[in-house]
Amino acid sequence: MLNSKNVEPQNIPLAIDNISDDSVSRDYHAETSDDNDDSDQASEPDQESMGNLTFSKIDENAKLDAPISRVFYVNSKSDLFYGFKKLSNDADFSGSLWTSIIPCLSLRGLGKAIATSPTLRHKVLLLNSSHDRETRGMTATDFVMAITRSLNRIQQNSNDHKETNEYPVHTLVTHVVYLRQSKIAMDVSELKVENVDADDKFTETCMLNDN
């Protein structure tokens, strides 16, 4: 961490060093002349200049009109999956299911890379501890199935018509890590039917080993 007290402003070179003090002063006053009494207040952009970009400080998870069932990815071309032939662990981190996790997974070839990797032993979902507006009412099993369906769907919709296999759930997700206090319903027996492990030992630590 950089301590601001140790910074010497006069020793920091300027990107442009041929600007006179007078010109800087004129530009500064031109930009601030309209502020006057509001100079001490933080400014905010006009709504018109923000277009469709909106932000609300209210922490509310308003219920969606209907549950999300699939995500369309704008560009599914990628050459980032060759590393799966060497990795031993893959973790899908907690985050918004439909606007964070699944969009990162909905890439052509990723499902096949995960399912057929000769070295990838642990394919872990770190389950959220609470619902957001996208997942209200979903169980842990629903999370796993949404992810595996998305990985299979993008594989089947690829241009390679030979890739019509639907990979079993356990080839895409092998473990679920969750908090015991999680507000998302966990049914270990349901996951075991799909050969997905969610035993209590995985709630003690997030560190995976080969033991």
Q: Is residue 135 part of a domain?
A: yes
Read off the pLDDT of residues 152-185 as tens digits, 9 standing for 90 and up. 987 776 655 555 678 999 999 999 988 888 899 9
Q: How many domains, the chain?
A: 1
Q: Is residue 211 part of a domain?
A: no
How far out from the chain centre does Cα 99 lie? 7
Q: Is residue 162 part of a domain?
A: yes
The answer to whether residues 191 and 198 touch, using CB atoms and an 8 Å cutoff, is yes
Q: Is residue 105 part of a domain?
A: yes
Q: Is residue 54 part of a domain?
A: no
Higher pLDDT, 91 or 102: 102
Q: Is residue 177 part of a domain?
A: yes
Q: Is residue 176 part of a domain?
A: yes
pLDDT of 134 higher than 90: no
The owner of tokens 């799909």 is 194
Number of neighbouring beta carbons within 10 Å of residue 100: 14
pLDDT of 125 higher than 70: yes
Higher pLDDT, 129 or 47: 129
pLDDT of 191 higher than 80: yes
The answer to whether the pTM exceeds 0.75 is no
Q: Is residue 112 part of a domain?
A: yes
Q: What is the pLDDT of residue 71?
A: 63
Q: Domain of residue 98: give its range.
A: 91-204
